[in-house]
Amino acid sequence: MSWIGAFGRSRILEKTEVPGGHKIMTNPCRCPAVRLLGVVVLALALLFTAGYSCGVEPPGQEDPRSGKNKQPAQSATGNRVSVTLKLKITAEPQTKLLVLDVQLPRSIPGRQKIIDIAYSTKPASVFEKNGQSYAQFLIDQFPKDLVIAIDVNAEVYRYDYSIASHSEKGRQFEHKGSLAQWLIHEQYLDKYSPLVQAAAKGLSGKDEEETLRKCFDFVRKTLTFGPYDPNDPDHGAEWALQQRKGVCTEFADLFVALCRAEGIPARFCEGYLVGSPLVTPKHAHAWAEVYTQKYGWVPIDPSAYLGDVTKFAKMDPVYLLLNVERRNGVLPYGHIWAYCYTGGPVKDEDEFRVNKLQKLQSK
């Protein structure tokens, strides 16, 4: 059985042998399929939160990060977005079975709400682990053109440092003991790298906010965005400092690593940008969240290429969050999705279309 997993760029980067002689094909960061399977990811989340039904508004659901089960009324600005997600799978005649695991986005109080969903393929199962939701597809019949199409309506709300500092709605706090996992040194988030440690020494401010601003400014001033190469693997914070460049993944990695080096809990976020009506497979994006003593978890996007869309204290409501784990235990060979197959290999194509973007009226 062969495995494939990915996050956001383009191709399978390596092959390794695992116990039992199974061949594992991995891309530790960015494969095109993340976008196409992310298509399923988003849709599935939607079908999960919508109870596998179209046009049914799901009740407030518990968000594992907030400890609350009621989604508050939204007072901040936001967008109603309609998107179409498509995944095309082409199998070889020898392909016997495809098992696909994908991560599902969820309704998150004060951040995003799944309204309804129409889908063409129902998952075999939906499950949760470590506060995250997943769907698994089992495909054993492969027509010439197998297409999974999902139409999704969702609301995404503006929530950033500015909103968090002026309103208690949407704040998400955790017990101190649960924050330790967001302070560790791990692959790509090289907290104990000598380069990261040296950089962090000059970024301590008189208070938490000043330290965060200094880390944010340092990343934006130090790294140059690009060039984007869909065949590149993940690099991580230390590489970004060495090369002084990267794409959104490296910007987020470095910012998170610096915050952790400063003793501020931080985590890597990944999802989609839904800010304009267009067709592209390149909506996948990475940013960060930091845990502040006053406001709890607050998203911050250090990427330098979004212009006025994001600043330290401001993020436009165009972010659809999928995941907050840099390395996902359920998807060991990929971030947002992973699939395995028996028999002949499969090929995939994806399309992500933003059909409509409408500004919500403030309440």
What is the reported pLDDT for 7?
A: 43
> pLDDT of 259-275, one tens digit each?
999 999 999 998 888 88
Stronger pLDDT, 362 or 269, i.e. the higher one: 269
Output DSSP code: residue 52. S
pLDDT value of position 204: 96
Neighbours of 57 (CB within 10 A): 14
Q: What is the pLDDT of residues 313-359, one digit of tens each?
A: 999 999 988 889 898 778 765 667 777 889 989 887 777 788 899 99
CA distance 154 to 84: 11
Dihedrals φ, ψ of 43, to 5°?
A: -60, -40
As a whole number of angstroms, the distance between CA 312 and CA 213 comes to 7
CA distance 93 to 143: 10
Using CA atoms, how far apart are residues 44 and 135, in angstroms rounded to an integer? 7
**In the prediction, which pLDDT does 343 show?**
92
What tens digit of pLDDT does each residue of 165-184 get? Answer: 999 888 999 998 999 999 99
Cα–Cα dist 197/210, whole Å: 18
Cα–Cα distance for residue pair 334/24, rounded to 1 Å: 11
In three-state secondary structure terms, 273 is strand
pLDDT band (50, 70, 90) for residue 70: very low
Amino acid at 227: P
85-126: per-residue pLDDT in tens?
777 888 999 999 988 777 777 889 889 998 887 777 888 888
Highest mean pLDDT among 36-45, 231-240, 252-261: 252-261
Quote the CA–CA distance of 243 and 313 in Å, as a whole number: 27
The pLDDT value recorded for residue 113 is: 94
pLDDT classification of 23: cutoffs 50, 70, 90:
very low
Bridge-partner residues for 126, per DSSP?
135
Residue burial 97-114, b: 16+ Cβ < 10 Å; e: rest = ebbbbbbbbbbbbbbbbb
**Coil, helix or strand at residue 108:** strand
Orientation angle between helical segments 194-201 and 208-222, nearest 10 degrees: 120
Q: What pTM was estimated for this model as a whole?
A: 0.78
Question: Where are any strands of DSSP class E within 159-261?
Answer: 224-225, 245-246
What is d(CA 117, CA 135) in angstroms, rounded to the nearest whole number? Answer: 15
At position 237, the amino acid (one-letter code) is A
pLDDT in tens, 205-225: 999 999 999 999 999 999 999
Residue 320 has what pLDDT?
87
Amino acid making up residue 134: Y
β pairing state of 2-6 and 23-26:
parallel
pLDDT in the model for residue 252: 97
Distance of CA 23 to the CA centre of its chain: 27
Per-residue pLDDT, 278: 59
**Residue-wise DSSP of 117-150:** EEES---SEEEEETTEEEEEEEE----SSEEEEE
Neighbours of 141 (CB within 10 A): 8
What are the chain's domains?
2-157+328-359 (2.60.40.2250), 161-323 (3.10.620.30)
- Dihedral over Cα of 300, 306, 311, 316: its sign: negative
What integer is the mean pLDDT of 28-41? 37
- Amino acid identity of 33? A
pLDDT at 120: 79
Q: What is the pLDDT of residues 10-21, one digit of tens each?
A: 223 233 222 332
Would you state the pLDDT for residue 297?
97
Rounded-to-integer distance, Cα 161 and Cα 330, Å: 31
CA distances from 50 to 60, 118, 120, 323 (A): 11, 10, 15, 19
Q: Tell me what pLDDT residue 161 has.
A: 97
Chain centre distance of CA 225: 19
Q: How far is CA 144 from CA 23, 141, 310, in A?
A: 26, 10, 43
